[in-house]
Amino acid sequence: MASRFQRVIWIVLDSVGIGEMPDAAAYGDEGSDTLGNIARQRPLRLPHFSKLGLANVKPLAGLPPEASPLGAFGKCTLASPGKDTTTGHWEMVGIHLDKPFPLFPNGFPREILRAFEDRIGRATIGNKAASGTEIIKELGEEHVRTGSPIVYTSADSVFQIAAHEDVIPIWEQYKICEAARDILRGPFEVGRVIARPFTGEPGAFARTSNRHDYAVPPPKGMLLDQLAERKVPVHSVGKIFDVFLGRGISVYDKTKTNADGMRTTLEAMEVTKDGLIFVNLVDFDMLYGHRNDVEGYARALEEADAWVPSLLAATRAEDLVIFCADHGCDPTTPSTDHSREYTPLLAYSPSARGGIDLGTRATLSDIGQTVAENFGAAITKGTSFLQEL
């Protein structure tokens, strides 16, 4: 079967939610609206996203809807329980969870820490929920003095390990994370184990770009497996490779910032002429959402918007560009956690009809099913909107 589009550029704006879901209160997220609340607090200049149809998805303060949007627009429901990176990205490719990944807001059980310490031959410190930047301020000096890695979690399903690169070399930090991933099974199988290296002196510690995520292996048969079976090239940009453990990915580029990710996406479009380019831009979430930095989040949105013309200039008639998100992370609420929100959906091609209202999709898997159908495949979840474009 010939592809409707020769190439799909799928861009995840990490955490850019567009309003609370009906069950948000059950997650403590009532009133969350990442885009809407930011727009109410700080005027947003997003002319290019608006032209694609962003302001047609729902009313946004200061951003009038377009009379003739260039793209199709809608929003996606997160059908799986939870609100984290793994849950959202897995659902995109057709994996729905029956239950959320486990959380440890009071730290990990002593038996898990004991097994971990025995395996790595070091004691640990921390073992609590904390901000990554704050915990290295609090415990970084003790770590440097003792050599004990800092273990912490967050409101997400994560086991994070912070260590100074001059105290525990990067290669050993990664081995330590691999040990944790092996131990955390069954009821303790968190979505991700994350290496969080840092450098510097007391009072001026700073995390480095050597972060590495160790995700749970996704079940077989998801979108990237289907594309690999059909020899469809997949070029990933950003943390996509880590989320899916590289499954089905032909070429990958790790990135350090949104700016790096946007530049690398354009470079990928120069060399990857067909198949899927799968991108995650993480700064919205990592740098601003979790730190309740409204101004930083707004500025990052505007920087991405300013990049859109370059992206569209590189888009061919046989390309399809999709923008979405994996969850919310509203920086205007007291919480610094992810938020249970709908995610925006924009789809654009020079050869497709604009102005199509895709409505409220029942699941993020609708995007994966659309990509699957385009390349002659199918996944078990989701309804394609390919024929509507």
Distance of CA 72 to the CA centre of its chain: 22
What pLDDT does 155 receive? 76
Tokens of 104: 């440890």
- The 10s digit of each residue's pLDDT in 12-41 is 999 999 999 999 999 999 999 999 999 999
One domain for residues 242 and 378: yes
DSSP state of 222: S
- Cα separation, 213 vs 11, in Å, equals 19
Of the candidates 131, 82, 88, the one whose C-alpha atom is nearest the C-alpha of residue 292 is: 131
One domain for residues 81 and 179: no
Q: What is the mean pLDDT of the chain?
A: 96
- Cα separation, 205 vs 349, in Å, equals 45
Of 154, 183, 215, the residue that ends a domain is: 215
Q: Which domain holds residue 87?
A: 7-97+217-388
Matching residue, tokens 């120069």: 270
Instruction: Map residue 56 onto helix, strand or coil.
Output: helix
What pLDDT does 201 receive? 95
- The 10s digit of each residue's pLDDT in 251-263 is 999 998 999 999 9
Predicted TM-score (pTM) of the model is 0.91
Q: Indicate whether 188 belongs to any domain.
A: yes
Q: Helix H segments across 184-314?
A: 223-229, 240-243, 258-271, 283, 294-313
Whichever domain contains 346, its CATH number is 3.40.720.10
One domain for residues 162 and 292: no
Q: Indicate whether 141 belongs to any domain.
A: yes
- Cα separation, 241 vs 232, in Å, equals 16
Packed helices 294-313 and 258-271: angle between N→C axes, nearest 10 degrees: 10
- The 10s digit of each residue's pLDDT in 79-103 is 999 999 999 999 999 999 998 899 9
Of 164, 185, 215, the residue that ends a domain is: 215
- The 10s digit of each residue's pLDDT in 323-356 is 999 999 999 999 988 999 999 999 999 999 899 9
One domain for residues 210 and 262: no
- Cα separation, 47 vs 25, in Å, equals 32
Instruction: Check whether 306 has a pLDDT greater than 90.
Output: yes
Q: Torsions phi, psi of 291, nearest 5?
A: -105, 10
Of 154, 180, 215, the residue that ends a domain is: 215
- Where are the strands (E) in the chain, listed by range? 7-13, 72-76, 125-129, 150-153, 158-164, 192-199, 206-207, 212-215, 234-237, 251-253, 275-281, 319-324, 343-348, 357-361
Q: Which amino acid is at 228?
A: A
Of the candidates 9, 64, 2, the one whose C-alpha atom is nearest the C-alpha of residue 350 is: 9
Tokens of 207: 């995390």
